[in-house]
Structure 1
Amino acid sequence: MISLRANVRLRINSTQVSYLTLSAYFDYGDLKYLFFMMVMSLYMLIVCANVFLIVVICMNRSLHEPMYLFLCSLFVNELYGSTGLFPFLLVQILSDIHTVSASFCFLQIFCLYSYGSVEFTNLAIMSYDRYLSICCPLQYNTHMTSNKVAMLIAVTWFYSFLIVVVTTSLSSSLQLCGNIIEKLVCTNYAIVKLACSDTRVNNIYGLTVTLLTVFGPVILIFYTYMRILKVCFSGSQQTRQKAISTCTPHLVSLLNFCLGACFQIIMARFDVKIAPSMLNMFLSLYYLIFQPLVNPVMYGLKMSKIRTLCKNLVISKGLSILL
């Protein structure tokens, strides 16, 4: 009888969780205004850089090629992921009470996780595009048609949104026995750890999605770059230069994202504290903060066609303002 009452009380308490507390924040004092300005500046820089490159690609018909259209999709995703993170951080930095509603928490989980899935899938498709361009140049236009490019971009976004909708739906149906998350943002695993109901379905689905979303693209990327390296070693100097100029930004972006995602997964899953608390918080958000900044910088500086068009656009706009 006592255990039955305890179970009933537990169920009642679990259904009353309408807000969640983010305990990783602490009182910054007057430094919070400095942090606010730093985060705001970084957010504005990310928005300006990505919007600028999206406009450059959309306005120039010479950039309406598969590689640049995939880049445009990547830049749109950077804006999407940054918008799911930075405004929330800015509010929390200035706030004295670090609580969010449960519904907003699940919305943030959807935004950040779908951003990560789109990012990884988009990078895998870009590696496939580079493989076709370098290893099969004569058949490239046949294989990578405009319809196929549109289909690949649509599938990337639809697939990512679909799997994350299922993830958030499974987590939102859990009965929670607490409301304190030791994070700066809402994460799905942190919510699952608060559950007092059965989480086997969540764990099995999470493992399956991880295998499909991570290992599938990794195998594709590894295969394509092995083929690209083989062609580079056996090809002409022109082929090697083309491969280096187009693949270097992609590899830097891929390694940066994988490094940040690994930090986040290790620190979330295993509660690893590898550094002081401030640095741990920074590392947990590294892939969300710096990936949207690294991509436009790398592609804007390393890809000569984009760099030239950006220069021409800035110079023409500057002259029109002066005149």
Structure 2
Amino acid sequence: MENVSIVRNFILVGFNESFSYRITLFSLTLLYYYMILFFNISIIAIIILDEDLHEPMYILLCSFCVNGLYGTTGFYPKFLFDLLSPAPEISYSGCLLQAFVMYSFACCELSNLAVMAYDRYLAICRPLHYHSLMSKRRLSQLVCFSWLTPFCAFSINVGLTSRLKLCGANLQKLFCVNWVIVKLACSEADTFSNQTVSYIIILFYFFHGVFIIWTYMHIIKTCVRSKDDSRKFMQTCLPHFISMMTFIVVIVFDLMYMRFGSTDLPQGLQNFIAIEFLLIPPLLNPLIYGFKLTKIRNRILLLIQGGRI
């Protein structure tokens, strides 16, 4: 590699194959982003404005949708701008910021899913203790945990990356990812700290996934014994279960491909794999919860009919 130890800008090589149809892609992406904004903001507004929805499950759903807005805002505006730019690039500091947003968004999503699984576990498996265990104070602590933990973890990770000397400025991506920046380091020995911290974070969030599976094993076991619990599972847990499985599948697939995948695939397919977690969950989640949760669906229907929340 050419020695470029002081990198001021990164070139986003992933755009190379998109310029032949960039106007069409820009239009479709802009429409898609507007849909993400509309559906997530609608769910958030309904929950905030309706006092009947100021319950732990809906407050956690609100946090879930806010995270969807956070992650997509870190990607789509820059992506849209780059589609109209003759030479897509991003500043060094901007790249580190975007990498931080992408990683913290993904891990905050998993933390939110874990907290929501815990809430459903208490509601179905320990209903008599639900209100004492899921108090306002406990709810605040869980929301803070789901947001602050990823922020702290990836502040350290990105901080370590900022100290590396780089020998390249071409990123084989549409956006900045910390691991791709680390691979541009001049010496692999310098990346030891980054890799160690990354594996610790992966292990930490792996246990989030284990916890979610554990809670659902208990929830399903409880629901099998009771028709009322089965009905509650279908109404409140099924949307969460679909969201969880969708996110875990796309993020694990992306993580495995980024670490071990072949670069022989067409650039367009590589790009799609890279942005799956920014395409599917942010739009699918509010749609699932909006249609499946009875209270939210009723509020939406009331608004459509011209009523007030």
TM-score interval, normalised by the smaller of the two chains? over 0.9
Aligned equivalents of 1:274, 1:134: Cα separation in 2: 48
Q: Is the Cα contact below 8 Å between 2:10 and 2:92 reproduced in 1?
A: yes
Please show how residues 83-232 of structure 1 align to structure 2 within 5 Å: 83-197=73-187, 198-213=190-205, 215-232=206-223
Aligned equivalents of 2:120, 2:283: Cα separation in 1: 22
Please show how residues 289-300 of structure 1 align to structure 2 within 5 Å: 289-300=279-290
TM-score normalised by the chain length of structure 2: 0.95
User: Residues 183 and 129 of structure 1: is their aligned pair in 2 closer, same or farther, counting only changes over 3 Å?
Assistant: same
Q: Say how many residue pairs are matched.
A: 305
Q: Is the Cα contact below 8 Å between 1:23 and 1:181 reproduced in 2?
A: yes
Q: CA deviation at 1:99?
A: 1.3
Aligned counterpart, 1:72: 62
User: What amino acid is the match of 2:295?
Assistant: K
Aligned equivalents of 1:177, 1:136: Cα separation in 2: 56
| Match among 27, 36, 47 for residue 57 of structure 1 | 47
SS of 2:246's equivalent?
Answer: helix
Aligned equivalents of 2:262, 2:18: Cα separation in 1: 24
SS of 2:10's equivalent?
Answer: strand
CA displacement 1:125-177 (0-9 Å, x = unmatched): 10010000000111100100111111110121111110011111000110001
SS of 1:100's equivalent?
Answer: strand
Q: Is the Cα contact below 8 Å between 1:70 and 1:122 reproduced in 2?
A: yes
Aligned equivalents of 2:239, 2:36: Cα separation in 1: 17
- Root mean square deviation, CA, Å: 1.6
Aligned equivalents of 1:104, 1:291: Cα separation in 2: 24
Aligned counterpart, 1:26: 16
Aligned equivalents of 2:267, 2:89: Cα separation in 1: 20
Q: Is the Cα contact below 8 Å between 1:50 and 1:79 reproduced in 2?
A: yes
| Aligned-residue identity in percent | 36
User: Residues 262 and 202 of structure 1: is their aligned pair in 2 closer, same or farther, counting only changes over 3 Å?
Assistant: same
User: What amino acid is the match of 1:233?
Assistant: V
User: Residues 29 and 131 of structure 1: is their aligned pair in 2 closer, same or farther, counting only changes over 3 Å?
Assistant: closer
TM-score normalised by the chain length of structure 1: 0.91
Q: CA deviation at 1:280?
A: 2.4
Deviates most, 69-78 or 28-37: 28-37
CA displacement 1:13-70 (0-9 Å, x = unmatched): 41x2111111111254562111000000000000011011100000111100000000
User: What amino acid is the match of 2:124?
Assistant: I
Q: CA deviation at 1:313?
A: 2.1
User: Residues 28 and 274 of structure 1: is their aligned pair in 2 closer, same or farther, counting only changes over 3 Å?
Assistant: closer
Aligned equivalents of 2:264, 2:234: Cα separation in 1: 35
User: What amino acid is the match of 2:9?
Assistant: Y
CA displacement 1:83-113 (0-9 Å, x = unmatched): 0010011011111102111000001011111
Q: Is the Cα contact below 8 Å between 1:67 and 1:129 reproduced in 2?
A: yes
User: What amino acid is the match of 1:221?
Assistant: I
CA displacement 1:290-316 (0-9 Å, x = unmatched): 211010000001111110011112322
| Contiguous gaps of at least 5 residues in structure 2 | none
Aligned counterpart, 2:224: 233
Q: Which has the larger radius of gyration?
A: 1
Please show how residues 248-287 of structure 1 align to structure 2 within 5 Å: 248-272=238-262, 276-287=266-277
SS of 2:74's equivalent?
Answer: helix
Q: Is the Cα contact below 8 Å between 2:26 and 2:80 reproduced in 1?
A: yes
Q: Is the Cα contact below 8 Å between 2:17 and 2:267 reproduced in 1?
A: no
SS of 1:316's equivalent?
Answer: coil
Q: CA deviation at 1:277?
A: 2.9
Q: Is the Cα contact below 8 Å between 2:17 and 2:268 reproduced in 1?
A: no
Q: CA deviation at 1:182?
A: 0.7
Aligned equivalents of 2:216, 2:145: Cα separation in 1: 23
Q: Is the Cα contact below 8 Å between 1:260 and 1:285 reproduced in 2?
A: no
